[in-house]
Amino acid sequence: MRYLRAFVRFWYDFIIGDDWVIAVGVVAALGLTALIADRGITAWWVMPVAVVVLLAASLRRGLRQSSSEHAEQPEPSGAAPGEST
C-alpha cells in the first residue's frame, strides 16, 4: 500500500505540480482540440493558443501574488518609508 500511495503521489505532483489551473487548462485544451478535429476542422492552432493564454494567466496570477506579498512586508525598523537601506 505504501508503494501505491507513493506512486499516486508522484503522478499527482508530476501532472498537477504547483498550479492545478494549468493542468485543468491543458486537459480542456486537449479536449477542445479533439472536438474541433472530430468535426473535420484543422485544429493544430488550439494548443499553441492555449499555451500562450495559460502562460499569460499563470504569470498574471504569480505577479499579483508576488506584489501582494511584497506590499504586506513591513518596512525595516529605523528606515523612513520610501528610504532603502
pTM, whole model, 2 decimals? 0.68
- State residue 78's pLDDT score: 61
Three-state SS letters, 3-53: HHHHHHHHHHHHHCCCCHHHHHHHHHHHHHHHHHHHCCCCCCCHHHHHHHH
C-alpha to C-alpha distances, 17 to 27, 40, 42, 50, nearest whole angstrom = 14, 34, 31, 18
DSSP 73: S
Residue 71 belongs to what H/E stretch?
helix 46-72
pLDDT (tens digit per residue) in 36-60: 999 999 999 999 999 999 999 999 9
Give the cell for residue 69: 506579498
- State residue 84's pLDDT score: 58
pLDDT (tens digit per residue) in 4-43: 999 999 999 988 888 899 999 999 999 999 999 999 999 9
Q: What confidence category does residue 75 fall into, taking pLDDT thresholds of 50, 70 and 90?
A: low
